[in-house]
């Protein structure tokens, strides 16, 4: 019996043929289906939304990438079905918004992917609840090595999505550069954001619950607060109601409010970030959170370096360790100088250890606000050049604190003092003598 010869070349040819039917056949290259073979023309002056949509749909049916050559493609309201995978040449393949409230969107799909594309909004009006690129309920969303420019609203908006946004540049987004709402463990890694109108990266949940996103190794600069407010805008990274989020290794410079702001974000980890030129609190864990680790960050230039606050709203349980914090003073126009200029501010169930604070206009470390002080340990820190080295609330009802083994140098108005709100009401408690506050243990501190 004669045996049929079946080599690798014939197998690949048969496999490619199996992906196509007479109605949908299109040439495949190693990059996928060439969009030009489906009637899409790079550099055409007219709107190509219909041709692009047909090509996207056809490629998605076969699960093949749709390869877009360098050039400009004018389009709007492009829909990504399940399996859509658009691939361009990084920095050279431009999808330019021609009309419609959105450039590209996808919803209720298992997987969609965008890579190597420039998405240009041309500063055309976008719906306030949409993004220039908007994905909704995508289990595996992937946006890699893209550029998003000139979005007159949100740049990338992801609702109920998992997956990843990586090595993507977002420039001049009028609202939020990258916004995840009700996300499912999104990986936000190695992106560049410059010039966001209200927020760099936002990871929000509708209610306090698990999110599990990682925000790591991004560079975020020049975040403003175009819509105003008292802190809801103007943050380079804002985690709101989202639990179990890691914010690690980001380089952040120049924000109207905070570099990193965790609001009602339980079990947040803020680790190893480099933050400078912040106009309010550089790193915040505030309101109804339980659990925060803030460690090994650098803050140079802020109103307040680190704040773990709002015990009155249930904010508690934190470690603040190994941070370097420099140059703290009121920076926003109209801010009373006595309101800021603090290195580290904490309130409840918090250990503050191994930090270095230098050049604080008011206090190096502040523990408690009025009666809101409970179980704070301040140990092994270095405070250099401040009005007060360590300020402890002694307002009626304030709880306990331990202050031991710290080195305090050049504290202009006292190394360790008791305060009622902003007002010092004791002498220097580090200098020995009777301690009239049995809830405070102050021992073995070095003052020079």
Q: Which domain holds residue 375?
A: 280-448
Reported as a single tens digit per residue, the pLDDT across 240-253 is 999 999 999 999 99
For tokens 């109108």, what's the residue?
Answer: 197
Q: Is residue 371 part of a domain?
A: yes
Q: How many CA atoms lie within 13 A of 326 on its CB side?
A: 8
Angle among Cα 62, 65, 67 to the nearest 5 degrees reads 130
User: pLDDT band at 431, cuts 50/70/90?
Assistant: confident
Q: Is residue 367 part of a domain?
A: yes
- Predicted local confidence at residue 27, as pLDDT: 63
Reported as a single tens digit per residue, the pLDDT across 187-214 is 999 999 999 999 999 999 999 999 999 9
Q: Is residue 343 part of a domain?
A: yes
How far is it, in rounded angstroms, from Cα 56 to Cα 122?
Answer: 23
Q: Is residue 285 part of a domain?
A: yes
Q: Is residue 185 part of a domain?
A: no
- Label residues 270-290 b or e (16+ Cβ within 10 Å = b): bbbbbbbbbbbbbbbbbbbbb
The more confident residue out of 3 and 262 is 262
How far is it, in rounded angstroms, from Cα 406 to Cα 388?
Answer: 13
Q: What's the chain's average pLDDT? A: 93
Using alpha carbons, list the distances in angstroms from residue 238 to 67, 222, 251, 268.
35, 15, 14, 11
- pLDDT for 180 beyond 80: yes
- pLDDT for 256 beyond 80: yes
- pLDDT for 166 beyond 80: yes
Q: Is residue 357 part of a domain?
A: yes
Q: Is residue 386 part of a domain?
A: yes
CB of 221 within 8 A of CB of 250? Answer: no
Q: Is residue 292 part of a domain?
A: yes
- Label residues 169-178 b or e (16+ Cβ within 10 Å = b): bbbbbbbbbb
Reported as a single tens digit per residue, the pLDDT across 309-357 is 999 999 999 999 999 999 999 998 888 998 999 999 999 999 999 999 9
- Predicted local confidence at residue 295, as pLDDT: 98
If one counts the domains in the chain, the total is 1
């Amino acid at each position: 019996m004669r045996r049929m010869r079946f080599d690798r070349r014939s197998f690949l040819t048969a496999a490619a043929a199996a992906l196509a039917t007479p109605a949908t056949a299109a040439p495949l290259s190693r990059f996928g289906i060439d969009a030009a073979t489906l009637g899409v023309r790079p550099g055409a002056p007219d709107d190509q939304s219909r041709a692009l949509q047909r090509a996207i749909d056809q490629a998605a049916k076969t699960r093949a990438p749709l390869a877009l050559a360098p050039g400009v493609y004018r389009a709007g309201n492009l829909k990504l079905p399940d399996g859509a995978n658009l691939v361009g040449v990084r920095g050279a393949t431009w999808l330019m918004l021609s009309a419609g409230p959105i450039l590209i969107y996808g919803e209720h799909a298992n997987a969609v992917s965008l890579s190597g594309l420039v998405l240009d909004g041309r500063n055309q009006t976008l719906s306030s609840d949409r993004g220039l690129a908007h994905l909704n309920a995508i289990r595996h969303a992937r946006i890699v090595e893209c550029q998003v420019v000139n979005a007159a609203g949100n740049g990338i908006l992801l609702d109920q999505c998992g997956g990843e946004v990586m090595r993507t540049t977002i420039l001049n987004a009028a609202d939020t550069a990258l916004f995840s709402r009700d996300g499912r463990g999104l990986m936000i890694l190695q992106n560049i954001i410059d010039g966001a109108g209200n927020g760099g990266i936002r990871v929000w949940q509708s209610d306090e619950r698990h999110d599990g996103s990682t925000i790591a190794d991004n560079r975020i600069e020049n975040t403003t607060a175009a819509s105003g407010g008292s802190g809801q805008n103007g943050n380079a990274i804002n985690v709101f109601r989202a639990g179990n989020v890691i914010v690690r290794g980001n380089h952040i410079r120049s924000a109207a409010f905070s570099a990193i702001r965790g609001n009602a974000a339980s079990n947040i980890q803020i680790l190893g970030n480099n933050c400078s030129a912040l106009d309010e609190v550089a790193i915040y864990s505030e309101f109804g959170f339980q659990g925060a680790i803030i460690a090994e960050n650098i803050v140079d230039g802020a109103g307040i370096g680190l704040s773990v606050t709002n015990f009155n709203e249930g904010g508690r349980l934190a470690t603040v360790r190994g941070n370097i914090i420099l140059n703290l003073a009121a920076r926003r126009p109209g801010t009373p100088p006595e309101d800021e200029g603090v290195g580290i501010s904490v309130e409840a169930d918090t250990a503050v250890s191994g930090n270095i604070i230098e050049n604080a206009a008011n206090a190096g470390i502040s523990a408690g606000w009025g009666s809101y002080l409970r179980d704070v340990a301040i140990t092994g820190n270095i405070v250099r050049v401040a009005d007060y080295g360590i300020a402890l609330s002694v307002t009626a009802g304030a709880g306990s604190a331990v202050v031991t083994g710290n080195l305090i140098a050049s504290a202009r108005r006292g190394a360790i003092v008791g305060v009622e709100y902003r007002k010092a009401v004791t002498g220097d408690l580090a200098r020995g003598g009777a301690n009239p506050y049995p809830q405070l243990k102050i021992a073995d501190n070095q003052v020079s």
